[in-house]
With several copies, the nearest count.
Chain A
Amino acid sequence: MKQKISPSLDAVVADIPDGARIMFGGFGGAGFPNNLIQALSRKGIKEITAISNNCGTREGELGIMFKNGQVRHVIAAFPGPHSNYFQECYAKGEVTCELVPQGILCERMRAAAAGLLGFYTTVGVGTEVANGKEERVIDGKRCILEKPIHADFALIKAEKADELGNLTYRLAARNFNPIMAMAASTTIVEVDEIVPVGSIEPENVITPAIFVHRIVQAKGLRYAG
């Protein structure tokens, strides 16, 4: 059996290079890989592109990465009024940001996961989001072409992993995590609990192990702010 379990947070992120494109799961304070984010920041990574629904809250979630000036570009749906460090970086021009409608952010990541090269949607037609995108009419509807969003790494949070990497999520802490797990070249999951292979009912697996490359058990820091 291939060993996917890593002994520590620091070890599991050690090879993520400066400039990497990284997806971060989580929404509304739930399902953020907070321990992985702390380890990544601690390691002193630089110049990353972050793909995330939002930009953290103060020093919580992704906030610390902006506070430390470790992010160069963000792809987000809701950078957030509470992400003061992002707002400061953005105002100073230290961070660029591509704003994407939330469902389209999901679909673009899923397209990457599914080996699709682009899709047409009515979402954003006639708005700022359509700027620079190909527009056409299909079946009488104006639509724009959206391209896949790939990433080198996804940092995600699940509740349980079995030793192979099959995952389950708790309540609404699922959110972006299963999509990002599928879309990145290397998916690293922080979990509350690692259980023996066979403990998760095959019908109840939410993220199949094929999408999970590294597992680390971490007690949950939580930034509800």
Chain B
Amino acid sequence: MPDKPRLSREQIAQRAARELTDGAYVNLGWGIPNLIADYLPKGITVYFHSENGILGMGRRARPGEEDYDLVDAMKVPVTLIPGASFFNQADAHLMTRGGHLDVAVLGGFQVSEKGDLANWKIPGSKGIGNIGGAMDISAGAKNLIVCMEHNTKDSAPKIVKQCSYPLTGIGCVNTIITDLAVIDVTKSGLVLREVAPGWSPEEVQAQTEAKLQVRGRVPEINLG
């Protein structure tokens, strides 16, 4: 495995933030996605959705400002932006499942070349596991972005031909953003859109089990 710098978790979030546009309604999942709100492009307003019935979450609450009736899906006290609204959890998931969100960003254990996502349970782990809202979100998102490291801690590829982990959803992922690349899931397979600075498409492919298609020159990820 090339000993070159990869994007940090924060940089993955920063790159993902550039996929969000002004006025978008967006759900952010656990892990790297949850860092995205800190890196929004200047001048845009994004309405963050939380599955517990909030639209228009603002920044996290500062010490002393916490209200434990106002928490996000990770139980973290948050604030509201003007124009926020509350609704019940069924309506919150009517939004996720019904395709009302513009973008959903989830973490991932594995993504397959067909856009299958596995992100809720590690095989052999103790206990029954936790699904939460991930299956509703992945089934309904108009544009599902997965943010994750390109490889496991043991260097195994996480972008695979077929997921070996328990699935969250099938054919649901639109874009994968990792510490090495931005990859689009298309009908004809995975297309390499951008590579991490200093990495070649061939080097990224070597870290990837699934075949990555290259169409012309592949630019480097620009965090500017």
Q: A residues bordering B, Cβ < 8 Å? A: 1-2, 27-31, 53, 77-81, 87, 90-91, 97, 99-104, 106-107, 109-110, 112-116, 121-129, 162-164, 166, 169-179, 182, 197-198, 200, 202-203, 205-206, 208-211, 222, 224
Contact = CB atoms under 8 A, between A and B. Distances in A.
A113 B98 contact: yes
Interface stretch (B32-40, B127-135, B150-158, B214-222): B127-135
Interface in B103-132: 116, 126-132
A137 to B, nearest CB: 13
A102 B133 contact: yes
B75 A197 contact: no
A178 B88 contact: yes
A191 to B, nearest CB: 14
A97 B56 CA distance: 34
Interface stretch (B64-72, B184-192, B197-205): B64-72
Contacts of B167: 126-128
Given A91-B127, A172-B53, 4 more contacts: A99-B130, A101-B134, A121-B139, A179-B90
Contacts of B98: 112-115, 182
Interface residues of B, number: 62
B52 A113 contact: no
Given A172-B53, A174-B53, A202-B56, A79 B130 contact: yes
Chain A CB within 10 Å, residue with most, of B23, B82, B139: B139
Contacts of B139: 115, 121-125
A206 B86 CA distance: 9
Nearest to A203: B86
A172 B86 contact: yes
B93 interface: yes
Contacts of B82: 197-198
B140 interface: yes
The 8 closest A-B pairs by CB, nearest first: A103-B93, A2-B23, A103-B136, A101-B135, A205-B85, A106-B90, A115-B97, A198-B82
